[in-house]
Every structure is written in structure tokens, then in C-alpha cells.
Structure 1
Amino acid sequence: MIDSRDMQAIGLCRFSYPALGGFQVEHETIEDRIAFLYAEDRLEERFQLMETVALPCLQAQTDQNFEMIIVIGDTLPKHHVDRLHDITANIPQISIVAHEPKPHRPLMKELINGARKDPKAPCLQFRHDDDDAISVDFFERFREAVNAVPGLLENRSVAFDWNRGIIAEMSADGIAATDTIRNLYVASLGMYVRGGCPLTIMNFRHGIMNQFMPTVSFTDTPMWVRTHNGYNDSRQKKVKPVPVEPLTVEQEAELKARFAIDVDQVRATFS
């Protein structure tokens, strides 16, 4: 059996990419979708969340052996493209690719499989939203979990789900949050793919992956932060609000240690 520490870990992040499909919020035309995604106030919030939430946890990973593709539209205005390159420059694992609007899942599957250095070798895959964080030991724990279940690796794919996390709201006042458990959320959800198998994590809706493959779940410690913000795709429709409470000083320190989220940076960025 190949040690998971030798497996390529490939991730995918969509940054306001105007896909054909792939959104819960519908638009009549692709022009309407692009206008929504590229609105200056929306993009400013996306950048604020990426800079304070989504990127610091990657830079702080205890296992730096991963790579992540950020997908953008080929019409994203240049000043936003330049800003994205600037804020990701210190994370060498990130590559940014631009595409014209294409059907969502086929393109994402093509990008992940195209990134596999050796399609005949097994690999690890993950998704990362631009407004979420994963724990700083996610890749370390992911590889340990894969090594712990050698019998399952005979399957073409296996999901690994860390389902305990934190819902958080960011503002100039700091961070308000609450603990929760959510099975098969995007963040801290990984997938093992057997060598020679063309499946990708983008073949499946994340919430039902356990219907298609063995799934190993862990609930011992918070492993992700999901931000609720003005432009969550899944929260544009009428949804039940999640009550959150301002973090104590001790909780702020725990969040920084676990997810590299700095409350002082949050206050400064959102002020």
C-alpha cells in the first residue's frame, strides 16, 4: 500500500467564477450572473473573507504538501485579478486559472484530473470555499486518517468527513460564532481516489457523498469555520438564522490557534 504521505493532494476553489450551473441562486442569462458576481461591493466582501479566513489557514498548515487551483472567470476585471495574485503570492501551493463560462461540473472535474501528476497513482482531493477556513492540521489529519483504514482503500473512492465546526460572522466589532455539527460540509471534507480512477470530488454533491462511497466521519474537535455573510450562495433564499455570540478573549485565542484567524485583522479589515 502507498503511504498517504506520498499521495498528491489536490484542491479546488472557485473565486466568483461565472459557471453555467453550479449556483443555488439562478440568473436568467450569463451576463446577469457575471454582473452579480463582479459587483464591486460583493467582490470587496469576498476579498475581505478570503484574506482573513480562507487563506491564513492554508499558509499555517502543519502539512504543506498540498496544491490548490483557484478558478476565476476570464472577464474578471484586471484590478481584481491583480489583487488576487497579490494576496495569494505567499502561498506557493496556489495556482490561479482563468476560464470562460463553461458548464460547472465538467470543467471542475477536468481541472482536477488535469492536475494529477500520475493518474495511475492514488490521490487525495478537497474543496475550499473562499469564505471558509479549515483547521491548520487538516492535511496532516487527512493523511493520518487515510493510512488508518487500508482495507477501505480497495474502493475506488472514500470520503473523510470532519463534521464538527464553527459558524461565524465577521464585522468591524470582531467575530461572533457558535459551534455546530454538520455532516459532509464542503470544508474539511476530503476524498481518496484510487489510482487509475477518473472520479473527482466534483463528481458529487458534497452533502450526499456518503450515498456513493464509504465515508469515515470524525466529530472530536472543530475542523472548519463557515462564515455567514451577505453573499452566501446557499443563504440567498429564506433560511433560518443561526444565532451567534461574540467570542470571548479566550475563544479568540483558540480560533487563532486552530484556524489562524486573527480577530484584530478581522476588525481592521471589516472596519
Structure 2
Amino acid sequence: MQVIGLCRFSYPAEGGFQVEHQSLQERQDYLYAPARMDERFRQFETICLPGLKAQTDPDFEFLVLIGDSLPAPYRARLERLLDGFAQARIVERAPGPHRKVCQDVINRARDLNAPCLQFRHDDDDAVAVDYVERLRETAAKCSGLLDTNSLVAIDFNRGFLARPVAEGLRAERNLTPFYGVALALAAGPGVRQTIMIFSHTRLNQFMPTISQTDSPMYVRGHNDHNDSRQKKHVKPIDLPRLDEKGEARFRKRFAIDADHVRQVYSGL
């Protein structure tokens, strides 16, 4: 079954953000601010990409959606990070309605005559190295449910919250249903609705859902530029630093290397 992941890399959509802006230019200024972009690239490199590149099932496509206004130096930096990642493809779009653009990007990449597994993925999050394998395995085991429903959600709800810092990784265990990361949608043949059409916290209101909680499957990245953390009264999360055993587990489960994190974040 075809598997497609979509990552919005600072795409200046109309809607789709919890942070409101008065104009497209204001949104682009916010998204492309040097401090914010530097942080996004650091997390994209150290947290997001390693596990995707190390998937035990390499048969998937990873679409990286960018705006046609992304400054050339950022585009070049993104291309360097994706060099050698055969499953990744940059998709450039003009600003437009968030859901419509994302739906079009996914549907242009899929075979609409066949079923498809889709997952959304933020540029500061990670999935376990066996995520695609487990996703296909779950779909196969629940084939009866998928065959009789046009849309089915598959939610791996156990993982970690993590923050990369100069000293390494700060992280703690987490279990949150429909968190958005490691959450997928099985869409039947001819179904044009995509994972990006629905609010991830409310998927269970629109379709049957399958929850998997047996092993940690995601890392939810935390940083000062998280869209969900820009609102007032959002309390900071004090994450404990991982010890050597914890770092080894992250390296094995998510291909996230604490030494690499220390290198990239040194001097900050």
C-alpha cells in the first residue's frame, strides 16, 4: 500500500496556524525570521530527518511543502539536508488555503485508484525507525475495517516530548491520543479527503480509529518557535536531561544521536 508523508516546512498558508497574522507579508516575515528559521533547520536536521532516513521499510514518499517565496539561501540549505534522502521531494506552492493546498499536494502524489496511507509530520518531530513498517503492518491486520470504511485513522499514541539543547537532549515519556505525530490516515480508492483536512485532535469524531500503544513511536519536538506555544499563558515545559541510557535508546529507536545534537547546538 502506498505511504505518503507530508511536512509543511514554513509554508505560508492561508489558515493552518494558531498564530494569527494580519497579512501574507506579516506571516512570511514571521516564518522567515532568521532566528526562527535557524531553529527550524537545527531541529529538522537533528530530530526530524534521522528516523525517516533510517526507516526499516523504505517504501514511502516524504513530501516537503514550501512556499514559492522561501528565500534562496533557505531553499539551498533545505536541499543540502535532503541530499541523499531518496524518499524526500520538495514541493513548491504559492500561498493558498491551507487545507486545499495540502490536499492537492498529497493527491497529486498518490494513485487515487488504490488505497493509501498518509501521515502528517512537523519539521521538529520524529517517528521511530520502524514507523512505516508498523503502519503497513497495522493496516494489513485491520484490512477488514479498512475495506469497509473509506477513512480510518491509525494512531500510535505513545512517545516522548523532547528538546534538543547544547548539552544533548532533554526528554520525558508521553502518551497523548491523536497528538498529530505518528498519526496516519488510511484513505480508500477514490477518496480525495486527506490527513490534512481534519483536525488531528478530532479525527475520532469522523471515522473509525485504531490506537496502538505498545511501544514509543514518536518524538514531539519542543522549542520556542512551536506554533502551539505562541499563545499567551502557555507554560514552559521543564524536561529532564537524558542520561547515557536514555541517549542510547533515542539513538536506537529514533536514530537521534545526542552527540550530533550537541555538535549542531554547540555555542548557542
Which TM-score tier does this pair reach, normalised by the shorter chain?
over 0.9
Stretch deviating more after TM superposition (234-243 or 82-91) = 234-243
Asked if residue 253 in structure 1 is aligned to residue 248 in structure 2, the reply is yes
Hey, which bits of structure 1, 4+ residues long, moved more than 2 A?
240-243
Aligned position for 2:131: 138
Partner of 2:115: 122
| Residue equivalent to 1:20 | 14
Specify which of 74, 88, 91 is matched with residue 94 of structure 1: 88
Q: How far has the Cα of 1:22 moved from its partner? A: 0.5
Shift in Å at residue 120 of structure 1?
A: 1.2
2:210 corresponds to 1:216? yes
- Give matches, 1:1-271, under 5 Å: 7-116=1-110, 118-153=111-146, 154-237=148-231, 238-271=233-266
Deviations 1:26-65 (A, max 9, x none): 0111111100100111100000000001011111000001
Structure 2: how far apart are the matches of 1:88 and 1:148? 33
CA distance in 1, matches of 2:24, 2:191: 33
Equivalent position of 1:3 in the other structure:
none
Are the counterparts in 2 of residues 160 and 191 from structure 1 also a CA contact under 8 Å? Answer: yes
Q: Tell me by how many angstroms 1:193 deviates.
A: 0.7
Residue 196 of structure 2 aligns to a residue whose secondary structure is helix
How far has the Cα of 1:76 moved from its partner? 0.9
Q: How far is 1:243 from its partner?
A: 3.1
> C-alpha distance in 1, partners of 2:119/2:212?
16
Q: How many residues align?
A: 264
Tell whether the 8 Å contact from 1:193 to 1:199 is kept in structure 2 after alignment.
yes
Amino acid at match of 1:121: A
- Quick one: distance in 1 between partners of 2:222 and 2:143? 37
**Identity, % of aligned pairs?**
51
Relative to the length of structure 2, the TM-score reads 0.97
Structure 1: gaps spanning 5 or more residues: 1-6
| Structure 2 alignment gaps of length 5 or more | none
| Alpha-carbon shift at residue 221 of structure 1 (Å) | 1.2
Amino acid at match of 1:150: S
Aligned to 1:201, the other structure's residue is in SS state coil
User: Cα deviation per residue 1:159-188 (whole Å; 9 max; x = unaligned)?
Assistant: 110101101111101111110111111211
C-alpha distance in structure 1 between counterparts of 2:174 and 2:196, whole Å: 25
Q: Which moved more, 1:255-264 or 1:197-206?
A: 197-206
Q: RMSD of the TM alignment (CA)?
A: 0.9
Instruction: Give the match's secondary structure for 1:151.
Output: helix
* Secondary structure of the structure 2 residue equivalent to 1:245: coil
TM-score by length of 1: 0.96
